Amino acid sequence: MRVEGLRKKAGGRQILRGISFEVPSGATLGIIGASGSGKTTLLRCLNGLERIDDGFIECGEVRLEAGLSEEEYRRRAKLLRRRVGLVFQHLHLFPHLTVMENIVEAPIHVLGMKREEAERAARELLEEVELQGLADRYPESLSGGEQQRVAIVRALIMRPNVLLFDEPTSALDPRRSASVRALLRRFVAQGHTMIIVSHAIRFLEDLADQLLYMESGEVIEYDRATELLQDPKDSRTRDFLRQAI
Amino acid sequence: MSGELSGRRALVLFLCIAFSVAGCAQEERVLRWGADPSGGAPYVFTDPAHPDRYIGYEKEMVEALAARMGRRAVMVATDWEGIVPALERGEFDIIVNGLEPTADRAARILFSKPYYVFQLQLTVRRDERVINSLEDCRNRLVGTLGNTAASRLLAQKGIRFRSYAEPGTAYRDLELGRVDAVLMDVPMEIYYARGNPRLRPAGPPFYRGVYVIGLRKGDEALKAEVDAAIEAIMRDGTLERILRKWDLWDDAQAELQAAVKRGEEPRYEMTAATFNWTDALARLARAALITVLLAFGAMFIALSLGLSLAVGQSKGPSWLQAVCTVYIEFFRGTPVLVQLLFLYFGLPQIGIALPGWLTALVGLGLNYAAYESQVYRAAFEAVPRGQWEAAYSLGMGPALAFRRIILPQAFRIALPPVTNDFVSLFKDTSVAYAISVWELATAYRELANATGEFLLLGAIVSAFYLAMSLPLAHIARRLERRQQRRQALQALVVEAAT
């Protein structure tokens, strides 16, 4: 996934001021920054939920760029979403559907998968995240950690090229947070391409290959993870890291 | 000096005027008579040429009677079906409205001498092939006025009939095929059907009954006065002149008047309402069934049309939004009664003649659709935006997201208010009375008017309504409580997540 010169204005405020980065296939990018730095807006742009004002997002042969007609933008955003899955910070599970139905809804109705096939795939994934017993439960009866794993499976079953996570640990206690990290590390090992937004640097420490530090909608520093953590070039990055750790 | 005199003169003059006015008021006695002028031709009805006054042969007759009695006739417009209770309440002194003496009425009020002999006439459409007499009407539907000799005769013969409040409506429904025949007193048939090229009489007039004047029990003195006046206007030919003028004179009248003139007490048979409780309860149960049918049918229309309206109003192109808004404001801003009358009487003018029950079902459905659309709209807005985004993010388009994700959740949110609306729709089915649909409210009015059992039948009808609406209200409350619990739980989850 390649992003070039991304700008986004909302409510009269410049939220993103020219963001660029490139995540090679199989790599993991961690985006860090304080609240209000534009991290979440950036993720929403990458999933086509927000219209960008300048620059482009490229994923495979899909290219979402500023200046397209409304209709064309929507068409390409839809194509982009087929390649890019998003796990929301607040998960947004469908409360009227069971865990299984939450997961197979899109494969069946968007990809046209057969129900048995979709359910088989869902069961495999649920087993992988250790939720096999909860397929028939409703989201409201699950714990926060279980809900999150359902949301991950729901995104994963669409076989996206890139998986986006918005603050995956914000709802979890340290123990649960560690188990999510273990899960994401497994994904790294399996070769998934991921972009993870977080303000918890520890969480990203040996998960992300690259780190991108944002402040007020700008990229302050973008480097290999080890470089950025051990030898930050910019004083603002240093300040942030000092406060965060 | 002269000024003082003129002042005294003025005072005397003033006192004279004052006393004479008071004297007049005491002197002039009035005869307040009650009648239903709506669709009341030729008895008493609004003069088409002068809509501010009433005309009719009975009006002329009452004026002649009042003149004989040294009184001034004052008409009190009332409702035919409630005319006896209105007399009992003292809203007027006598009923002059083509009133037939019946056994049940005799138990409550006094009757004068008869003043007119009426017959019944069966009317059919001009192209009718099967019906030539009342006997041919078995298994057909006959229209008539409620609580009349005609309706009692039909009930007695076990012929299915529909009661109307006005003769004009009954004949119009006959033309439109909503009933198969109409049975009515000859005077009404002359006025409302005789000149209509699409209708024809089926067989000759039959049956003989009389019209009398009704008085309160205990008003024997007034009854004597009225009887004397009736005899007088028969003897001097005034009544004959009036009846001839209205084309109502026939041999039957001649016989009646001849007997009176000979000093004989005219004899007449008194019909009795064939009323028994088993029959009444069966009719009430049928009315309850129709009420349920109306409520469910109307709600089905309201829910499906309301959904389209809600979607059209919030998501459609601007012209569709405008159309939906106009629809919603129109149906919410005008009374459902007026809408029903419009559908029932207005639509046939452009060639759409629906039967009464279907009109009520569609009319209530169209009306409630406007309300349900707003319930849906509120429910759509109550589904969090994140649900749309989650659906989009999984690659769904707006239509799929709406159908699979938003609609089911909105429906759950809408369920308690929709159930509440259903309870009120249930009660609103009673407006179908206005278009003669035999539902519970109509059944109550007709049975109660025929028997005078307003209290007992009222209690039974209320019990029917409650038996149906209480469980619904209970379900609505339970759904509401469940909803509140669910919302509280969700709030807790979101709180924990932030």
Residue A136 lies in a domain: no
- Chain A contact present for B397, CB below 8 A: yes
DSSP string, A146-178: HHHHHHHHHHHTT--SEEEEESTTTTS-HHHHH
Burial of residue B378, with CB atoms counted within 10 A of its CB: 0-12 exposed, 13-18 middle, 19 or more buried? middle
Beta bridge partners of A13: A10
User: At a CB cut-off of 8 Å and minimum separation 6, what does B24 contact?
Assistant: none
Q: State the average pLDDT for chain A.
A: 90
The rounded distance, in Å, linking the Cα atoms of A49 and A52 is: 10
Give the number of domains in chain A: 1
Residue A56 lies in a domain: yes
Interface of B with A in 357-396 (CB under 8 A): 384, 386-387, 389-390, 392-396
CB hemisphere CA count around A79 (13 angstroms): 15
User: At a CB cut-off of 8 Å and minimum separation 6, what does B446 contact?
Assistant: B81, B146, B147, B163
The first and second tokens of residue B347, run together, are 């639509």
Confirm if A129 and A184 have CB atoms less than 8 A apart.
Answer: no
Residue A209 lies in a domain: yes
The distance of Cα B48 from the centroid of its chain, to the nearest Å, equals 22
Query: Testing the interface with B: which of A50, A71, A98, A109 to mutate, by most B Cβ within 10 A?
Result: A109
Contact state of A106 with B396 under an 8 Å Cβ cutoff:
yes
User: At a CB cut-off of 8 Å and minimum separation 6, what does B489 contact?
Assistant: A140
Strand order in the sheet with A2-10: A13-22, A2-10, A54-59, A62-65
CA distances from B452 to B84, B88, B215, B223 (A): 9, 12, 16, 23
Contact state of A94 with B498 under an 8 Å Cβ cutoff:
no
Query: Testing the interface with A: which of B393, B485, B495 to mutate, by most A Cβ within 10 A?
Result: B393
Confirm if B34 and B76 have CB atoms less than 8 A apart.
Answer: yes
Q: How high is the pLDDT of residue B492?
A: 61
Contact state of B498 with A81 under an 8 Å Cβ cutoff:
no
- The predicted-structure confidence for B110-143, as pLDDT tens digits, reads as follows 999 999 999 999 999 999 999 999 999 998 999 9
Confirm if A132 and A114 have CB atoms less than 8 A apart.
Answer: no
Domain holding A226, by residue range, is 2-94+159-244
Instruction: Tell me which chain A residue has its CA closest to the CA of residue B400.
Output: A109
- The predicted-structure confidence for B337-384, as pLDDT tens digits, reads as follows 999 999 998 888 888 888 889 999 999 999 999 999 999 999 999 999
Q: How high is the pLDDT of residue B2?
A: 45
Q: CA angle B286-B290-B292, nearest 5°? A: 115
CA distances from B303 to A94, B333, B381 (A): 24, 19, 17
Q: Is the peptide bond before B42 cis (omega within 30 degrees of 0)?
A: yes
- The predicted-structure confidence for A194-232, as pLDDT tens digits, reads as follows 999 988 888 888 889 999 999 999 999 999 988 998 888
Q: Is the pLDDT of residue A101 over 90?
A: yes
Confirm if B389 and A94 have CB atoms less than 8 A apart.
Answer: no
**3-state secondary structure at position B147:** coil
The first and second tokens of residue A192, run together, are 């998934």
The distance of Cα B375 from the centroid of its chain, to the nearest Å, equals 32
Contact state of B490 with A171 under an 8 Å Cβ cutoff:
no
The rounded distance, in Å, linking the Cα atoms of B94 and B110 is: 10
Q: How far is A232 from chain B (nearest CA, A)?
A: 30
| Complex ipTM value | 0.93
- Chain A contact present for B412, CB below 8 A: yes
Q: How far is B384 from chain A (nearest CA, A)?
A: 9
Instruction: Tell me which chain A residue has its CA closest to the CA of residue B384.
Output: A92
Confirm if A94 and A46 have CB atoms less than 8 A apart.
Answer: no
Report the predicted TM-score, pTM, of the whole model to 2 decimal places: 0.73
**To which H or E segment does residue B395 belong?**
none
Residues of A in contact with B489 (CB under 8 A): 140
Contact state of B386 with A93 under an 8 Å Cβ cutoff:
no
Q: Is the pLDDT of residue A64 over 60?
A: yes
Q: What sign does the CA torsion over A189, A194, A199, A205 have?
A: positive
Q: State the average pLDDT for chain B.
A: 87
CATH number where A185 lies = 3.40.50.300
Contact state of A78 with B395 under an 8 Å Cβ cutoff:
yes
Residue A31 lies in a domain: yes
Q: Give chain B's residues under pLDDT 50.
A: 1-5, 23-25, 498
Neighbours of A85 (CB within 10 A): 26
Residue A121 lies in a domain: no
The closest CB to that of A90, out of B386, B408, B489, belongs to B386
Domains and CATH numbers, chain B: 29-111+212-261 (3.40.190.10), 116-209 (3.40.190.10), 277-497 (1.10.3720.10)
Q: How high is the pLDDT of residue B147?
A: 79
A114: confidence class by pLDDT, cuts 50, 70, 90: very high
The closest CB to that of B395, out of A81, A95, A171, belongs to A81
DSSP string, B20-78: HHHHHHHH-EEEEEEE--TT-TTTSEE-SS-TTSEE-HHHHHHHHHHHHHTEEEEEEE-
The rounded distance, in Å, linking the Cα atoms of B329 and B306 is: 13
Residue A178 lies in a domain: yes
Confirm if A189 and A206 have CB atoms less than 8 A apart.
Answer: no
Residue A151 lies in a domain: no
Residues of A in contact with B396 (CB under 8 A): 106, 109-110
Contact state of A105 with B394 under an 8 Å Cβ cutoff:
yes
Contact state of B494 with A92 under an 8 Å Cβ cutoff:
no
Phi, psi of A166 (to 5 degrees): -105, 110
The distance of Cα A157 from the centroid of its chain, to the nearest Å, equals 14
Q: CA angle B54-B60-B63, nearest 5°? A: 100
Residue A44 lies in a domain: yes
Pairs of residues, one from chain A and one from chain B, whose beta carbons lie less than 8 Å apart: 73
Burial of residue B450, with CB atoms counted within 10 A of its CB: 0-12 exposed, 13-18 middle, 19 or more buried? buried
pLDDT above 90 covers a percentage of chain A that reads 61
Question: Could you tell me which residues of chain A have a Cβ less than 8 Å from any Cβ in chain B?
Answer: 47-49, 78, 81-82, 85-86, 88-96, 105-106, 109-111, 140, 144, 147, 154-155, 158, 170-171
Q: How far is B484 from chain A (nearest CA, A)?
A: 14
